[in-house]
Amino acid sequence: MEISEIERLLDIFRDAQVSELTISVGNPPTTIKLRKPATIAVPEKHQRKAETTCEKSVKPDDAPPAKGAVAKEIFISAQMVGIFHSLDSIAAVGESITTGQVVGVIESMKLMNDVISDHDGVISEILVEDGMPVEYGHRLFKLSVA
């Protein structure tokens, strides 16, 4: 198969409504496998809610505590095995979140399960990337709380 044929095939595949294509050509066969990344629409409300676990520890001295209160680190962890999907509304470090706010989604067995914050705080670190596999107890976010 010539490079120009492969490039033409890629152009056609890019616009096609298929997510995967395997082609074998010649003798001995040369196999080309094309796969588009999975895109998942995350609805605003989901039928099941995932719980979060939090671990507390004293925050390092990289920021002063607020008005005499001791700043702490809280970790939001995965409650199940699956694929983590980030939300556009939780885009960066420094975003404030509230108790009960959905901070991400874990896809498990084709079901979307909300990851909900148990605390008010500010995201000090995002520990996973969109599309990353996670398991039970895997830390997803680090929050700074007063």
Measured in whole angstroms, the distance separating CA 109 from the mean position of its chain's CA atoms is 16
Please indicate, yes or no, whether residues 31 and 52 belong to a single structural domain of this protein.
no
Mean pLDDT confidence for 121-143: 90
| Residue 74, both tokens | 């809280």
| 95 — pLDDT class (breaks 50, 70, 90) | confident
28 prior amide bond cis, ω within 30:
yes
| 2 — pLDDT class (breaks 50, 70, 90) | confident
Indicate the residue type of 81: V
Q: Domain count for the chain, please give it.
A: 2
Average predicted confidence (pLDDT) for the chain: 76
CA distance 15 to 1: 21
Please indicate, yes or no, whether residues 115 and 84 belong to a single structural domain of this protein.
yes
| 81 — pLDDT class (breaks 50, 70, 90) | very high
What range defines the domain where residue 27 resides? 3-35
Please indicate, yes or no, whether residues 20 and 91 belong to a single structural domain of this protein.
no
pTM recorded for the entire structure = 0.51
Please indicate, yes or no, whether residues 91 and 113 belong to a single structural domain of this protein.
yes
Please indicate, yes or no, whether residues 67 and 121 belong to a single structural domain of this protein.
yes
Q: Is the dihedral of CA 76, 79, 84, 88 positive or negative?
A: negative
| 52 — pLDDT class (breaks 50, 70, 90) | very low
Please indicate, yes or no, whether residues 73 and 12 belong to a single structural domain of this protein.
no
